[in-house]
Amino acid sequence: MSRVLVMIGTRKGAFLLESDEARRDWELRGPYCEGWPVYHVVHDADNGAIYAAAASAWHGAAVWRSLDLGETWEHSSEGLTYGEDAPLRLSKVSGLAAGHGRVLAGAEAAGVFESRDGGVTWRLLSTLDDQPGREDWNVASNQPPGHLGMPGLLQHPDDPDRFWVVVQGFGAFETTDGGATWTPRNRGLRADWPLEHEEVGFCVHKLVMSPADHERLYQQNHCGMHRSDDAGRSWTEITEGLPSDFGFAAAAHPHDRDAFYVVPLDGGHGRVVPDGRMAVWRTRDAGGSWEQLTRGLPESAYVGVLREGMAIDSLPAPGLYVGTSTGQLFASADEGDSWREIAGYLPGISSVEVAVLD
């Protein structure tokens, strides 16, 4: 029988939740990573390792790794640097992606690193230097309040040289040659501000690919929900029917290319669920219509859900997992129709990922 492993990054370390396929009874383990703020925890299906991107206020940024599902951990930042004399400073690793025999790490300031030895050593792959406006990315006045980094990484499942990165406030970029060259992939997106460059200046929050159709991408943007049917070359807005055009988290159904989930938030300063009514929203027709899913989710709950705060497993009836800024982990074992809290009183949750282990 398969096991389901939910990996949780929080403001005070990483946690693991484990269950069997029924996803009814969960065992919580942690905290790991010495209580460092953990921004993203991922599982590498190739070697079974867990990687956690973390940054200590005292001791800097590192990627932690566990080869035994959390029993023991080591950390490394060897090579996670822009160099002593470089204008860029690495303050944290924001996002991770594992697969194709490597681990990718997106950093703040914006750059992507890779490790080919299971997170022991790292090397800088690219800082996207040839992109329009790149020289302005690190000017302090251009940096959004939440910092400027590269939090989003999306690997192509079949082509190791092809992946997408998200640079906060500037947009999504695709490489097809392992990071040597890049192309902005922001056509059709909306920006509610003047653009200095036609192709960049967009605020992509989260980019996901349908496992059922690799040409089908979805994104939650600062300005609306969007869908692409050509692997990001063009985008169509699909916000209509949602309670707000703002949010961070997003998840694509593993078996249905038209099904997709978001957690809309109040786009003002609060950035919590609208009217304190926690809800996950689902489309089954590629954004043509949206359905509010609330059964088992709380009311009078002024919670936020961050960029990596929602995950979906790959079982035949996929389970969803949503972690809140106030430390609750809600799960659904029926594609979002009903929910229950499977962990509470955790530190504020930054990321949720899930793996099905055979």
At position 101, the amino acid (one-letter code) is G
Site for other proteins in 82-121 (CB under 8 A): 83-84, 89
Q: Measured from the CB of residue 13, what is the shortest distance to other proteins in angstroms?
A: 11
User: Which of residues 77 and 181 has its CB atom nearest to other proteins in the complex?
Assistant: 77
Residue 142 region by backbone torsions, left for phi larger than 0, else alpha for psi between -120 and 50, else beta: alpha
Strands 224-228 and 236-237: antiparallel
Q: How far is the CB of 103 from other proteins (least distance, A)?
A: 17
338 binds other proteins (CB under 8 A): no
Q: Does 62 bind other proteins (CB under 8 A)?
A: yes
Q: Output the CA torsion 144→146→150→155 (10° steps).
A: -120
Helices (H) and strands (E) in the chain, counts: 0, 28
> Does position 27 bind other proteins by CB under 8 A?
no
Residues 21, 28, 60, 134: which binds other proteins (CB under 8 A)?
60
List, in order, residues 6 or more apart from 219 with CB less than 8 Å away: 172, 189, 204, 205, 206, 207, 208, 225, 226, 228, 235, 250
> Is residue 140 part of the contact set for other proteins (CB under 8 A)?
no
Return the range that interacts with other proteins (CB under 8 A); candidates 56-64, 130-138, 302-310, 333-341: 56-64
Helix or strand or coil: residue 134?
helix
230 CB neighbour count, 10 Å cutoff: 12
* 3-class state of residue 141 by DSSP: helix
Can you tell me which of 3, 45, 46, 59 binds other proteins, judged by CB under 8 A? 59
Task: Give the span between the Cα atoms of 342 and 237, in whole angstroms.
Answer: 34
CB of 37 to other proteins, least distance (A): 10
Q: CB under 8 A: which stretch of 53-61, 103-111, 137-145, 204-212 binds other proteins?
A: 53-61
Q: What backbone phi and psi angles, to 5 degrees, belong to 135?
A: -65, -15
Q: Is residue 139 close enough to count as binding other proteins by CB under 8 A?
A: no
Contact yes or no for 21/32 (Cβ under 8 A):
no
Q: Pick the closest to residue 220 from 200, 242, 201, 199 (CA basis).
A: 242
Could you tell me the smallest distance in angstroms from the CB atom of residue 59 to other proteins?
4
Q: How far is the CB of 60 from other proteins (least distance, A)?
A: 6
Give the Cα separation of 66 and 75 in Å (integer): 9
Residues 66-85, interacting with other proteins (CB under 8 A) = 75-78, 81, 83-84
Site for other proteins in 231-270 (CB under 8 A): none
Quickly count: other Cβ atoms within 10 Å of residue 99's Cβ: 16
If you count them, how many residues does the chain have? 358
Please identify which residue in 21, 34, 199, 337 interacts with other proteins, judged by CB under 8 A.
Answer: 34
Q: Which is nearer to other proteins, 91 or 244 (CB)?
A: 91
Tokens, residue 261: 């989930």
- Site for other proteins (CB under 8 A): which residue of 1, 57, 139, 140? 57
State the nearest-atom distance from the C-beta of 169 to other proteins, in Å. Answer: 24
Q: Given the rule CB under 8 A, which residues bind other proteins?
A: 34, 56-60, 62, 75-78, 81, 83-84, 89
